[in-house]
């Protein structure tokens, strides 16, 4: 139990320090934005590149990992969408935002450090396989559903032309540093070459900095999100995110037959709070901003407790890990 506490403190303590640094004006919001930009542009892509280029896949195909994670992802998305539309009486487009907020984890800023501290390099390959398609799935599904909803409501003429929307989506995906790091890591892996020592001497220190810097930047970003409206639906969405999603992912991973370290890794990813890209998607769609940002704040605060519980569950059920 003491080791679990140390892990939780090491993760959420850095988030708290980042939050306090921004809240007290010790560091300006510009610093937080630039730090987050740096983390997303260099350390995390390099960490992903290094992991994919050198990791042992342990005989597990990506399709099994994706099935174990994204089938529950789809179920939780649908459940959150239906709940917000039918129980809380919001429109279809707000339901899309709710679905993404419930299903999309903070897999990069919190998930990577959490898995590294808990499982080490053995768990990295599993979360990298998830991260490789995590953001594209969120963005593509959100845009597709939003376009469908606009057409159904006969609002398409008031929005950005569809061709332009798809062009922007394509550019954002192609130029995303995390996806570039993923692609380059896979390409390097297929060459069968080892990373030169000179390159490794540069890559490894930056990759090691990814976890702490990502957590600190995540904490600073929280200052930008307040809680004012949509508290009840946001709390309900946070419950789906923190409780239902990891439960379904762990069950699916066990049923599919992933190795223990794989079950632990993707369960911990699913147990992470809502990712910061969910509110950004809400801003892009022009609806549900308060709903999504409140879900992010509530799930991050509650995540201190729920992540501790999931760590205990994972360690108890997967003792050999």
Question: How confident is the model over 162-189, as pLDDT tens digits?
Answer: 666 667 667 766 777 877 887 888 788 8
pLDDT single digits (tens) 99-118: 999 999 988 888 888 998 88
pLDDT single digits (tens) 258-308: 989 999 999 999 999 998 778 767 766 677 778 888 898 899 989 999 999
Task: Check residues 152 and 83 and name the one with the higher pLDDT.
Answer: 83
The share of the chain scoring above pLDDT 70, in percent, equals: 84
Q: What is the mean pLDDT of residues 225-230?
A: 67
Cβ atoms < 10 Å from Cβ of 24: 9
pLDDT single digits (tens) 16-56: 898 899 889 898 878 877 887 888 788 878 887 887 777 66
Side-chain-side CA neighbours of 294 within 13 Å: the count stands at: 18
Beta pairing partners, 274: 105
Residues 9, 127: Cα–Cα separation, whole Å: 21
Residues 8, 272: Cα–Cα separation, whole Å: 12
In this structure, of 154-163, 187-196, 225-234, the range with the lowest mean pLDDT score is 154-163
Mean pLDDT over the full length of the chain = 82
Q: What is the DSSP letter of 59?
A: T
The share of the chain scoring above pLDDT 90, in percent, equals: 27
Residues 291, 182: Cα–Cα separation, whole Å: 31
Domain 2-317 has CATH 1.20.1530.20: yes
**What does 159-219 look like in DSSP terms, one character per residue?**
S--HHHHHHHHHHHHHT-HHHHHHHHHHHHHHHTPPPPHHHHHHHHHHHHHHHHHHHHHHH
pLDDT value for 321: 47
């Amino acid at each position: 139990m003491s080791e679990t506490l140390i892990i939780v403190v090491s993760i959420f303590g850095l988030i708290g320090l980042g939050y306090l640094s921004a809240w007290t004006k010790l560091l300006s919001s510009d610093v937080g934005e630039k730090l987050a930009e740096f983390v997303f542009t260099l350390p995390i892509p390099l960490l992903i590149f290094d992991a994919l280029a050198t990791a042992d896949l342990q005989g597990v195909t990506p399709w099994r990992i994706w099935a174990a994670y994204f089938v529950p992802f789809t179920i939780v998305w649908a459940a959150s969408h239906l709940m917000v539309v039918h129980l809380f009486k919001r429109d279809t487009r707000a339901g899309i935002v709710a679905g993404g907020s419930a299903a999309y984890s903070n897999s990069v800023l919190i998930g990577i450090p959490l898995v590294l501290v808990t499982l080490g390099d053995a768990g990295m390959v599993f979360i990298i396989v998830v991260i490789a398609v995590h953001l594209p799935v969120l963005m593509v599904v959100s845009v597709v559903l939003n376009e469908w909803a606009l057409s159904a409501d006969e609002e398409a003429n008031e929005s950005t032309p569809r061709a332009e929307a798809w062009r922007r989506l394509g550019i954002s995906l192609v130029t995303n540093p995390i996806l570039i790091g993923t692609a380059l890591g896979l390409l390097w892996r297929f060459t069968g070459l080892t990373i030169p020592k000179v390159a490794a001497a540069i890559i490894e220190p930056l990759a090691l900095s990814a976890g702490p810097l990502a957590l600190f930047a995540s904490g600073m970003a929280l200052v930008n999100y307040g809680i004012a409206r949509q508290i009840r639906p946001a709390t309900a969405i946070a419950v789906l995110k923190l409780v239902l999603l990891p439960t379904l992912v762990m069950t699916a991973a066990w049923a599919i037959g992933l190795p223990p370290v794989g079950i632990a890794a993707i369960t911990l990813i699913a147990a992470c709070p809502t990712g910061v890209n969910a509110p950004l998607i809400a801003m892009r769609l022009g609806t549900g901003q308060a709903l999504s940002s409140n879900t992010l704040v509530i799930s991050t605060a509650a995540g201190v407790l729920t992540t501790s519980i999931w760590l205990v569950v994972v360690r108890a059920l997967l003792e050999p890990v």
